[in-house]
Amino acid sequence: MKNKFKKILFLELGVGTMKPMFIKEPFWEMTNSLPSASYISVNPNDAVVPGKIEEKGLAINEDIARVLQDVLKGK
């Protein structure tokens, strides 16, 4: 909580729909409650951003390896 006013990125990699209560929902709640938090979900099939954080989130429906390669290339 000492960093709650800093920029925070919750990066969710490859989490499917079977684990929402363990990973997705806590990330969504923290993104919603922290003023400078953002959320990115990367999953080829199941990347979603719920409506309550759509202004602070991004869903990337791509292969994780490809996304990370693009990040390293500066795309």
Show the DSSP H helices in 17-75 as ranges: 25-33, 64-73
pLDDT mean for each 10 residues of the chain (75 residues): 92 84 90 96 93 97 94 85
Give pLDDT, residue 6. Answer: 95
Asked if 33 and 8 touch (Cβ cutoff 8 Å), the reply is no
Total tally of structural domains belonging to the chain: 1
**Residue 1 within a domain:** no
Q: What is the largest CA-CA distance in the chain?
A: 35
Give pLDDT, residue 17. Answer: 81
Residue with tokens 């929402």: 20
Residue ranges making up the domain that contains 59: 21-73
End-to-end CA distance of the chain: 32
Distance CA(74)–CA(65), nearest Å, equals 14
